[in-house]
Amino acid sequence: MKTIKEKHSLAMRWFHWINFPLLTIMIWSGILIYWASPMLPILFPEWFYKLFNIPFRLAEGMAFHFLFMWFFIINGVMYVLYTLVSGEWRELVPNRHSFKEAWLVLLHDLHIRKTIPPQKKYNAAQRIAYSAIILMGIGSFITGLAIYKPVQFNWLCWLCGGYYAARIEHFLLTIGYVLFFVIHIVQVILAGWNNFRSVISGFEVTEQP
């Protein structure tokens, strides 16, 4: 018989689906800014810039970036507060077994191992990934503020290793989000409909004998 198993709270789903367009806009407007003075010119070829209509939109990029940064940060802060207050952080933060288990999960996902360690709501690899992405968010906030106001927050700039380093870090974190996104999508497809639906509806359907 089918049963309904609650999985993701409404708050979690909300933060997730609000974050997605916000981060997309931050990355897009970030590329509009990055184009004006690329640090790694080999990374984006001309055709990439042309395809997404990037060139000569620095002012526009800055205007979007400095509006949506507020929403992006507010949503991120609310999410972290929510996980702390609700206690859901316990399911998300890696514990002392996570790193070993994550390795076994990886071997399993790569079809090298047949068995997988017993899973709770999030497996060890997910715990690491979902906690790392929050640390990355904090990193984007700090490096972003260091680039945005390098004089008023000169100590942040110093903490990042200087202005240039802060720019590189801010950029690499963004590349990190894109890589996260690609792996995330592959995993979502592999995990299937029941799992994907739970991030919208909040529940999974399980078969009970």
Say if residue 193 is exposed, middle or buried (CB neighbours under 10 Å; 0-12, 13-18, 19+): exposed
Identify whether the C-beta of residue 122 lies closer than 8 Å to the C-beta of residue 130.
yes
Taking the complex as a whole, the smallest distance from the CB of residue 137 to another protein amounts, in Å, to 20
Residue whose CB is less far from another protein, 138 or 168: 168
Report the C-alpha gap between 198 and 200 in whole angstroms: 5
Q: Tell me the Ramachandran region of residue 124: left when phi exceeds 0, alpha when psi lies from -120 to 50, beta otherwise.
A: alpha
Residue whose CB is less far from another protein, 153 or 180: 153
Residue whose CB is less far from another protein, 35 or 177: 35
Taking the complex as a whole, the smallest distance from the CB of residue 158 to another protein amounts, in Å, to 8
Residue whose CB is less far from another protein, 163 or 180: 163
Chain contacts with another protein (rule: CB under 8 A): 1-4, 17, 21, 25, 33-34, 36-37, 39, 58-60, 62-64, 66-67, 70, 149-154, 157-158, 163-164, 167, 197, 200-203, 205
Coil/strand/helix, residue 187: helix
86 CB-near residues (< 8 Å, 6+ apart): 9, 11
Residue whose CB is less far from another protein, 67 or 106: 67
Taking the complex as a whole, the smallest distance from the CB of residue 24 to another protein amounts, in Å, to 10
Helix axes 163-191, 124-148, angle to 10 degrees: 150
* Spacing of C-alpha 203 from chain mean position: 22
| Bridge partners (DSSP) listed for residue 107 | none
Taking the complex as a whole, the smallest distance from the CB of residue 207 to another protein amounts, in Å, to 11
Taking the complex as a whole, the smallest distance from the CB of residue 142 to another protein amounts, in Å, to 15
Taking the complex as a whole, the smallest distance from the CB of residue 46 to another protein amounts, in Å, to 18
Enter the tokens of residue 191. 């995990």
Residue whose CB is less far from another protein, 51 or 106: 51
Identify whether the C-beta of residue 111 lies closer than 8 Å to the C-beta of residue 54.
no
